[in-house]
């Protein structure tokens, strides 16, 4: 029994030596140290739970390797008012020691709307007809044309078929039925 108690106490001592870096400490590190200067101009997201997967999937199917056994994954949108394909960062904070790695990218995580929580955001600009967020295309709105032949125009530009001397555009118009097939010259 004494051996069992000694082993439990030893295990508790060893785990306290290698302390854990909890979620709040990771948020404080990122917000207070890593992005301290620019935090008023970026959106900051954290993965809702501790990341133990080997990689994080980014939009368009690429992935970023998780550098630690367990980490707190942050996504920093450096240009929140811009459409995508712009600079953003991923920060992986080691859940054991608090070390971190910053990885640059141009796209958001594929699960940003389901597995990430926004911890800091700027006020978005007011835009009319703002497109739906990625992953939610919304209802399609097909273009409807009114059947009115007077709404169309034909632009005729000059070029000629060197072998026949007939303007090339006439041959095209004859092919599509704009000019009668029997029409050969002006």
CA pair distance 26, 39, nearest whole angstrom = 15
Give the contacts of 52 (CB within 8 A, at least 6 positions apart). Answer: 66, 69, 70
Residue of 40 and 184 predicted with greater confidence = 40
* Contact between 99 and 21 (Cβ < 8 Å): no
88 - beta bridge partners?
77, 105
Q: What is the pLDDT of residue 14?
A: 41
What are the structure tokens assigned to 126, written together?
């007011």
Residue of 63 and 146 predicted with greater confidence = 63
pTM of whole model > 0.75? no
CA pair distance 170, 159, nearest whole angstrom = 9
pLDDT tier at 92, thresholds 50, 70, 90? very high
Residue of 181 and 24 predicted with greater confidence = 24
Q: What is the pLDDT of residue 79?
A: 85
Q: What is the mean pLDDT of residues 60-71?
A: 86
Residue of 99 and 131 predicted with greater confidence = 99
Please report, to the nearest 10 degrees, the dihedral formed by the alpha carbons of residues 144, 149, 150, 156 taken in order: 110
Whether the per-residue pLDDT at 22 is higher than 60: the answer is yes
Q: Which range among 14-28, 34-48, 74-88, 137-151 shows the weakest confidence by mean pLDDT?
A: 137-151
Q: What is the pLDDT of residue 122?
A: 81
Q: What is the mean pLDDT of residues 80-91?
A: 84
CA pair distance 62, 60, nearest whole angstrom = 6
Q: What is the pLDDT of residue 96?
A: 92
Q: Using the Cα atoms of residue 65, residue 120, residue 81 and residue 35 in order, give the sign of their dihedral.
A: negative
Average pLDDT, the chain: 74
CA pair distance 144, 45, nearest whole angstrom = 41
Whether the per-residue pLDDT at 90 is higher than 50: the answer is yes
Q: What is the mean pLDDT of residues 107-134?
A: 75
């Amino acid at each position: 029994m004494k051996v069992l108690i000694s082993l439990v106490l030893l295990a508790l001592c060893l785990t306290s030596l290698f302390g854990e870096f909890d979620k709040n400490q990771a948020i404080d590190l990122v917000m207070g140290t890593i992005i301290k200067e620019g935090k008023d101009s970026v959106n900051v997201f954290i993965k809702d739970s501790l990341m133990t997967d080997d990689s994080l999937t980014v939009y368009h199917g690429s992935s970023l390797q998780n550098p630690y056994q367990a980490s707190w994954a942050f996504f920093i949108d450096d240009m929140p008012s811009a459409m995508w394909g712009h600079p953003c960062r991923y920060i992986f904070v080691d859940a054991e020691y608090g070390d971190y790695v910053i990885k640059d990218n141009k796209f958001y995580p594929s699960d940003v709307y389901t597995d990430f929580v926004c911890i800091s955001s700027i006020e978005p600009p007011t835009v009319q007809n703002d497109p739906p967020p990625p992953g939610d295309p919304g209802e399609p709105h097909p273009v409807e044309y009114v059947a009115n032949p007077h709404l169309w125009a034909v632009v005729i530009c000059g070029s000629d078929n060197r072998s026949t001397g007939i303007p090339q555009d006439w041959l095209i118009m004859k092919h599509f039925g704009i000019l009668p097939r029997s029409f050969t010259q002006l």
